[in-house]
A and B are shown apart, each in its own frame.
Chain A
């Protein structure tokens, strides 16, 4: 079968009768975009704010507990490195977002959009990783000084079993991390999963081709 006859009827198709007037085009051109890029930007900013403010939300009083364990210096150094990393991520996010251009080729455009998404994804991974590793390290340090730990967990000196207290402490910490993971996973399914389904599919469609030869 030949597509030429269809091509001919395509060429001969009448012009759209329902043309949009210049006034309406003007109004449209100044209205707000609802594009994927805009949503990725908004969600990305919200995530960066969320994770960064989470770091600042730890009250000072809570930190004082660690004084007894003599790890304040270590904590301060870790925090400093952490803020440098946040800064690097912010710069990366901004640079990637800025490099998105609709006038690029389709493949490059999609690649740029996905790399903004990747920056945010790595930022979240970084934060999750930090939470897990710092919790494990902290737990090892705390369990290494059980006397201080019991004092911290049971400041009023109630008559409870030491082993039970420590077990509850470990389970509670693990449960907290797990719940956080589930919430975040669900959040991603809802936002990026839906937002990028089409884009990912189209990108793969163009990318697969490169591996044919």
Chain B
């Protein structure tokens, strides 16, 4: 029984691993912290996987657990040293197929997101991932109206930072 659950979890996770990496990238600024947060998300997902009933998509459930971990549970590791912070993540997304302009835009976007607070990060992330307001409001636990208000403010903040 346990074995079945484990292999099912690994399969589900494998297909959605990239979501967690994206969340780690916006909430951390160096590789050590990225790995720490990634591990904590995996622990929380597995710990609660037996309670996942499948009435929503695994990815939807995963967004919630991963964001909750980043916002509420994760403590910045004392190991990470500020001077070693990497201002972008280009070391991991080197790809020849990727258009250069887009790559620069993406770098600028990540850099700007890093300057937002934790809640705004979550809102912008869910916007970028194209999540409907209903899901955003349910994930964060605020009303849909408030989610819209908050989202507009977060977008304004982001635009201000991105302004050349």
Contacts and interface: CB of A to CB of B under 8 A. Distances in A.
Given A195-B75, A202-B119, A29 B9 contact: yes
Say which size band chain B's interface belongs to. 35 or more
B149 interface: yes
A102 B38 contact: no
A157 B94 CA distance: 87
A108 B83 CA distance: 35
Contact of A35 (B52, B61, B73): B73
A33 B40 contact: yes
B18 interface: yes
Say which size band chain A's interface belongs to. 35 or more
Interface string B115-157: 0011100100001101000000011111001100110000100
Interface string A1-43: 1010111111111111111101001101111111111010000
B86 interface: no
A198 interface: yes
B106 A209 contact: no
B158 interface: yes
B159 interface: yes
A22 B106 contact: no
A103 interface: yes
A212 to B, nearest CB: 7
Interface in B1-27: 6, 9-10, 13-14, 17-18, 21-22
Interface in B34-70: 38-40, 42-48, 51-52, 61, 64-65, 67-69
Given A3-B155, A37-B73, A17 B92 contact: yes
B40 A35 contact: yes
A213 B148 CA distance: 13
Contact of A1 (B97, B102, B163): B163
A106 B65 contact: no
A182 B22 CA distance: 44
Given A33-B40, A205-B119, A105 B141 contact: yes
Given A10-B106, A14-B97, A102 B69 contact: yes
A206 B73 contact: no
Given A18-B92, A110-B72, A31 B39 contact: yes
A35 B102 contact: no
Contacts of A37: 73
A34 B93 contact: no
A109 B68 contact: yes
A135 B108 CA distance: 62
Given A105-B138, A198-B118, 15 more contacts: A3-B159, A6-B162, A7-B128, A10-B106, A14-B93, A16-B17, A16-B18, A31-B43, A33-B44, A37-B73, A102-B47, A103-B52, A201-B117, A201-B118, A202-B119
The 6 closest A-B pairs by CB, nearest first: A105-B141, A107-B141, A29-B46, A35-B73, A16-B21, A9-B102
8 contacts: A8-B102, A9-B103, A29-B9, A29-B45, A104-B141, A105-B140, A209-B146, A212-B149
Interface of B: 6, 9-10, 13-14, 17-18, 21-22, 38-40, 42-48, 51-52, 61, 64-65, 67-69, 71-76, 92-95, 97-99, 102-103, 105-106, 108-109, 117-119, 122, 127-128, 130, 138-142, 145-146, 149-150, 155, 158-159, 162-163
Interface of A: 1, 3, 5-20, 22, 25-26, 28-37, 39, 101-110, 113, 195, 198-199, 201-202, 205-206, 209-210, 212-213
